[in-house]
Homo-oligomer: A and B are copies of this chain.
Amino acid sequence: MAGGARDERSVADKLFAIADAFAAGEELTLSEVAARARLPLSTAHRLLGEWVEWGGLVRGDDGRYRLGMKLWRLGVRQPTARRLRSAALPYLEDLLESTREHVHLAVRDGLGAVYLERLSGRDAVPVISEVGSRLPLHATGVGLVLLAHAGEDVLHEVLASNPRKYLPNTLTEERELRIRLAEIRSLGLSQAVEELTRGAFSVAAPVRDASGEVVAAVSIIAHVERRGEPQFALGVRMAARGISTALGWRP
């Protein structure tokens, strides 16, 4: 390729670096994109043009670029997200109706829990998760459930990553994490108070597919004053069981 000596990165690398600049869903100017993708302005401009022509990015009237509906349509076709979400939605809706708090469905992605779905009651407690968010395994209800059913190597990676203590109740020490994960496995449920969000408690349970493997977790995040109410544990258990059955799991 001409000019290869000046820039070793492939065209694909550069195109994907441009997409990565939009990972937070922001609207960006040409120079912001060029800076984030570490590309010369002229290269960024040309490659942005390719993205816009395809429809993956859109250029607004103000000259800023943003993710396009084409990328959204492609993303929502992702088979795992689509299959899990479609199996789970009726159960998540039941859970929402009976609690009016936040209802989550998440899968593990490396050392994070990625939120596939979130339904929220109108007066639910303020939380930072939203669809597409990736929150740490050790500090969230769904994350701890997913971690409890991941391999020993994942736990090692979490411990090696210097896990952050968001609040006094966040578990970061190996010994306390191991006790908690064993408890989650034996109860089939994670219950915690103020691990990531002040004023909130969480109840989470594992979702299994036909092979019996834990493929997702479902949770409720509710106002901490309501933590004594029995419907949270019951509802999360029933939802997790219903979704697992819909995925072909047989106990």
Spot the interface stretch: A64-72, A142-150, A155-163, A213-221: A64-72
Q: Do A19 and B74 have beta carbons less than 8 Å apart?
A: yes
- A188 cross-chain contacts in B, Cβ below 8 A: none
Q: Do A75 and B67 have beta carbons less than 8 Å apart?
A: yes
- A122 cross-chain contacts in B, Cβ below 8 A: 90
| A82 CB within 8 Å of chain B | yes
Q: Do B132 and A119 have beta carbons less than 8 Å apart?
A: no
- A134 cross-chain contacts in B, Cβ below 8 A: 73
Q: Do B25 and A78 have beta carbons less than 8 Å apart?
A: yes
Within 8 A of B (CB), among A86-129: 86, 89-90, 93, 96-97, 107, 109, 114, 119-122
Q: Do B77 and A24 have beta carbons less than 8 Å apart?
A: yes
**Smallest CB separation, A20 vs chain B (Å):** 8
How far is B79's CA from A67's CA once the two chains are assembled, in angstroms?
A: 7
How far is B13's CA from A50's CA once the two chains are assembled, in angstroms?
A: 8
Residues of A within 8 Å of B, CB-based: how many?
Answer: 53
| A5 CB within 8 Å of chain B | no
Q: Do B16 and A77 have beta carbons less than 8 Å apart?
A: no
- A56 cross-chain contacts in B, Cβ below 8 A: 16, 19
Q: Do B79 and A27 have beta carbons less than 8 Å apart?
A: yes
Within 8 A of B (CB), among A1-45: 1-2, 10-13, 15-16, 19, 22-25, 27
Looking at the complex, which one of B51, B77, B96, B130 makes contact with A67 (CB distance below 8 Å)? B77
- A27 cross-chain contacts in B, Cβ below 8 A: 79
Q: Do B131 and A119 have beta carbons less than 8 Å apart?
A: no
A47-64 vs B: 1/0 string, CB under 8 Å?
Answer: 100110010100000000
Q: Do A120 and B50 have beta carbons less than 8 Å apart?
A: no
Q: What are some 14 contacts across the A-B interface (CB < 8 A)?
A: A10-B11, A12-B51, A19-B54, A19-B56, A23-B74, A67-B75, A72-B81, A73-B75, A75-B78, A76-B132, A86-B130, A89-B119, A89-B120, A90-B120
| Extra contacts besides A73-B114, A76-B132, A93-B93 (16): CB < 8 Å | A10-B50, A11-B11, A11-B15, A12-B54, A13-B50, A16-B56, A19-B74, A66-B78, A66-B79, A67-B74, A67-B75, A71-B74, A72-B75, A72-B132, A75-B78, A93-B96
